[in-house]
Amino acid sequence: MHKITRKRFSPLHLAASLAFALAAIPAAHALEIQLPPETASYQASELPGYRLAQQNCMTCHAAQYVISQPSSFNRAYWEATVKKMKAAYGAPLHDEDIPVIADYLVRTYGAERTKTTTATAPATPVAAAAPAPAPAKAHDASSLLAANNCLACHAVDKKVVGPAFHDVAAKYAGQPNAIGTVMQNIRTGGSGKWGPVPMPSFASVSDADLHELAGWVLGR
């Protein structure tokens, strides 16, 4: 008969064997995922809800979310959805803006998108041309910040959804045409400059008001 013997290993030998085995395993690397740039955008419209949707909805999700909804959804669905965004997810919406946004959504993407509301006005004698109104005075910065809901995503001294205003001012300090660059950034929006969350476009804001806002931001 053969005698079976058990070979004993010292703790030092076991530790060395374990280290050798671990060294043979390829090192793990963090997986980096580069998301494609956001290409979907809200359909341009003269409806007042278009600007509100750009300014409020894209701070939390892409326009693709709206575009992919069934076109049969009615006004009640869209209004309930916008209300849910405020109640459940904390979207910074004013109550009076909710039906305005829903009106744009249902008439652009929903059940009322093919309906027309054009009407023919009765013919009236041509009157003398009225004098052109005086150009509106540019708003001050505080009014513009409120009107465009800027403070829902920004603060002066801390990051909220977007960067702090004083961080923007520091980034462009001393750069030639800094005010023009910031004006363009506000006008076109986009993502990538300060992180992946997209900033909506403010293309409807006048050049004078953009200049006022950009100058105020750069002065923080």
Residues 95-107: what's their mean pLDDT? 90
Helical residues (DSSP H) of 135-206, grouped into ranges? 141-147, 165-172, 178-188
Cα gap 57→72, rounded to integer Å? 21
pTM for the predicted model, two decimal places: 0.46
**Confidence (pLDDT) at 99:** 92
Tell me the three state secondary structure of residue 142.
Answer: helix
Per-residue pLDDT band for 10 (boundaries 50, 70, 90) equals: low
Mean pLDDT score, 171-198: 83
Give tens-digit pLDDT for 106-126: 899 888 986 544 333 444 443
- Report residue 140 as tokens: 């001050």
Rg of the Cα atoms in the chain: 29
CA dihedral (45, 51, 57, 59) positive or negative: positive
pLDDT digits (tens, 9 = 90+) for 206-215: 888 888 888 8
Domains of the chain, each with CATH number or no CATH: 48-108 (1.10.760.10), 141-218 (1.10.760.10)
Q: Report the chain's mean pLDDT, rounded to a whole number.
A: 74
Mean pLDDT of 38-51: 79
